[in-house]
Structure 1
Amino acid sequence: MRLIFSLLLLSLAQLAGAQNTPAMEAPAELPYYQIPDYPAKYNACTVAARMLDGLGFRYYWATEGLREEDLSYRPNADARTAAETLDHIYGLVQMVRQAVQQRPNGSGGEPEPATFADQRRQTLLAIQEVSNILKASKPRDLKKYNIVFQRGDNTSEFPFWNVLNGPLADALWHVGQVVSFRRGSGNPFNGKASVFSGKVRE
């Protein structure tokens, strides 16, 4: 009788614990498991920031759970591998980051990531940093967020418009390629991650 009573108490405790634990709980160490709440107001900066948040969410789930065979996959002999595509995305995100930091492109920053895990972390944190800078900015600040290329004594400068149709749009494009590649290597994108809502369905 005591054994049955003890088992009943244990079952009730486990049930209560399961009900108090949210499904698909987000890992604490990386952003964009879910998209952040949208800003309270619309302006040029918050719209641009939301585009970054959309990129962050897509990148998080495009790269979540990638295996070595996924990273080395390429759809044909002339195409980049998934790993090479992720290297390119990393460079594009750094270009956007340096623009909002008002630094020339390629002017340094964090050391180049040594592993895929490091690259993924740095990419997600850089996207989050850019989004936060934009959310804290005023629309007039966008005139200062130029892409600047320096080659010796030569400098080329492009306005924030080029951030939008250049590296930001390009990064979104290539994240889609990674999703396609991982499907080809037998490890498809998590279907519970909704790119429309920016949340993970239970």
Structure 2
Amino acid sequence: MKTIITSFLLFIFSMAMNAQDLPYYEIPEAPKEFTQGTVAGRLVDGLGFRYYWATEGLKEEDLKFKPSKDARSLFDTVDHILVLSIMTLSAVEGTEMSFPKEGSLTFAEMRKLTLENFKKASDILKASDDLSKFVMKIPRRNGEVAEYPFWNQLNGPIADAIWHCGQIVSFRRSAGSPLPKGPSFLTGTVKK
């Protein structure tokens, strides 16, 4: 019995420590001004908060869940959101997209990197007064690079990542693993 209680307390402690290490346990305080950058950054903050809670507490068996044989697994959906976070961050940093080697990251590493990418992208966006400078550059197989303005970032990777966060929530509920209680998606806070 003592071992079970100790294990439980260690689990709770590790969850609390993990929450402090990762961005988006709660949404950062709203900017004082409405600008191009603060609005776009806040959109990414909302995405980060939703992703944090959609993926919080997932277990190995949850990650294997697929709603049908032709669908992506929950793990594959998490991996896809990582790719979208890299696309978003690369566009606002003005850097070439660089993706981790397939299968090289654990779920915990993917989750952390995705949340950090969203936080970095949000911070860059909030500091900008001109979103037109953020051009998404996508390398093609033929060696060419397709360029897209920030508008496509909004309706492309950012909106797609929000869409897939909803899929994660649906998948985990179908797998019998509901969202943790506490987050308010309206306020971006966690009820204690």
Normalised by the length of structure 1, the TM-score is 0.81
Match of 2:186 among 175, 190, 196: 196
Question: Relative to structure 2, which stretch is displaced further, 181-190 or 162-171?
Answer: 181-190
Deviation at 1:153, TM superposition (A): 4.2
Mapped to 2, the partners of 1:149 and 1:133 lie a distance apart of: 20
Kindly indicate whether residue 140 of structure 2 is the aligned counterpart of residue 148 of structure 1: no
Kindly indicate whether residue 127 of structure 2 is the aligned counterpart of residue 176 of structure 1: no
Where does residue 27 of structure 1 map in the other structure? 19
Is the contact between residue 26 and residue 33 of structure 1 (CA under 8 Å) also seen in structure 2?
Answer: no
Q: Summarize the alignment of residues 112-131 of structure 1 with structure 2, pairs less than 5 Å apart.
A: 113-131=104-122
Give the alignment's Cα RMSD to 1 decimal. 1.8
Mapped to 2, the partners of 1:68 and 1:44 lie a distance apart of: 40
Opposite residue 181 of structure 1, the aligned amino acid is: F
- Structure 1 segments, 4+ long, off by >2 Å, are 24-27, 108-113, 150-153
Where does residue 5 of structure 2 map in the other structure? none
Match of 2:37, SS? helix
Where does residue 155 of structure 2 map in the other structure? 165
Kindly indicate whether residue 86 of structure 2 is the aligned counterpart of residue 97 of structure 1: no
Match of 1:72 among 43, 64, 67: 64
Is the contact between residue 57 and residue 180 of structure 2 (CA under 8 Å) also seen in structure 1?
Answer: no
Deviation at 1:171, TM superposition (A): 0.1
Kindly indicate whether residue 33 of structure 2 is the aligned counterpart of residue 41 of structure 1: yes
Give the number of the structure whose alpha-carbon radius of gyration is greater.
1
Mapped to 2, the partners of 1:178 and 1:110 lie a distance apart of: 21
When residues 109 and 184 of structure 1 are mapped into structure 2, their CA distance, relative to the original with a 3 A threshold, is: closer
Aligned residues: 175
Match of 1:27, SS? helix
Alignment deviations for residues 73-117 of structure 1 (CA, whole Å, 9 cap, x no partner): 01111111100001110001100110001123x3x2777752000
Opposite residue 149 of structure 1, the aligned amino acid is: I
Opposite residue 169 of structure 2, the aligned amino acid is: V
Opposite residue 62 of structure 2, the aligned amino acid is: D
Deviation at 1:159, TM superposition (A): 0.2
Q: Which runs of 5+ in 2 are unaligned?
A: 1-15
Mapped to 2, the partners of 1:26 and 1:174 lie a distance apart of: 23
Mapped to 1, the partners of 2:42 and 2:17 lie a distance apart of: 23
Opposite residue 64 of structure 2, the aligned amino acid is: S
Identity of aligned pairs, percent? Answer: 47
